[in-house]
Amino acid sequence: MTLHAPSPSALLGDLAVALATGTIEVVDLTHTLDQDFPVIVLPPEFGQCGRFRMEEISAYDHRGPAWKWHNFTCCEHTGTHFDAPSHWISGRDIPNGNVDEIPVERFIGPVCVIDCSEGATADEDFELTPAIIEEWEAEHGRIPEGTWVLMRTDWSKRRGADYLNMRGDGAHSPGPTPDAMKLLVHERGIRGFGTETVGTDAGQGSHYTPPYPAHFFLHGAGRYGLQCLNNLDRLPATGAMLIATPLKIKKGTGSPLRVVALVPREGAV
């Protein structure tokens, strides 16, 4: 890492040029907020995640002649969304643990992408383990502190019932083991963890100890979750910058959001 950084204004100026010329590409990691996009399904006696819904208020008609607009409703955890520490019981006492309280600089940071797509294609219950993380680090270097870590599984390419992949014994989708989360959170000090699946945890994550280890360890340590991410196959293993700014919802535990990544394109002009 060089200490000869340019001045902040030069840096932003260079960034603007890079964005304009495409040498830094903006990649959209977000799914469209769609009424039919799957949400997490809990046992029905529990309250459920609200599906995205949209009602037309007017459409240049008798309800409003020159304008069109909608009311929409959804859960904080609908679609591509952000989990704040207050989302989980382990994070209930974390200071500034709600989306409106999180310092805004926490939303932007470098991102490492661990490609598990091959394993997840072969095994729908594929686990991200410390060994896989260490193997990744052997190739790409140690995960720096304050980094977003995304688990790429290509799960976002699944459609319909294959996405949640619910069966009689629950959902089957890849996710991290408790040890992997302990490693990332406590030893690497990551900023947050993101997945392409409907949650940061595996479909069978309730059977770990503790149950839902990603939620448990991330939020217990004041870190963030991102789920239902898209286009992770368009990110490099390292070197990209992630921007994930949730809505400023008072005492909110999460928020649908537009997640984008800045990706350097070395070959571009």
Q: Of 256, 241, 87, 74, give the one whose Cα is nearest residue 150.
A: 241
CB 253 within 8 A of CB 83: yes
Between 48 and 206, name the residue whose CB sits nearer to other proteins: 48
Q: Of 142, 134, 216, give the one whose Cα is nearest residue 181.
A: 216
Shortest spacing between CB 48 and other proteins, in angstroms: 7
Shortest spacing between CB 54 and other proteins, in angstroms: 7
CB 192 within 8 A of CB 91: no
CB 98 within 8 A of CB 229: no
Task: Tell me the three state secondary structure of residue 233.
Answer: helix
Shortest spacing between CB 242 and other proteins, in angstroms: 27
Between 31 and 223, name the residue whose CB sits nearer to other proteins: 31
Between 166 and 237, name the residue whose CB sits nearer to other proteins: 166
Shortest spacing between CB 58 and other proteins, in angstroms: 14
The residues binding other proteins (CB under 8 A) are: 35-36, 38, 41, 44-45, 47-48, 51, 53-56, 160-161, 163-164, 166-167
109-132 burial: b if 16+ Cβ within 10 Å, else e: bbbbbbbbbeebeeebebbbbbeb
Please identify which of the residues 31, 81, 87, 219 carries the catalytic annotation. 87
Close Cβ partners of 262 (under 8 Å, ≥ 6 residues apart): 19, 24, 25, 26, 27, 240, 241, 243
For this structure, is 87 an active site residue? yes
Between 56 and 93, name the residue whose CB sits nearer to other proteins: 56
Shortest spacing between CB 157 and other proteins, in angstroms: 14
DSSP per-residue string spanning 160-226: THHHH-EETTEE---EE-HHHHHIIIIIS--SEEEESSSSSS-TTGGGSSSSSHHHHHHHHTT-EEE
Between 168 and 267, name the residue whose CB sits nearer to other proteins: 168
Residue positions annotated with a catalytic role? 87
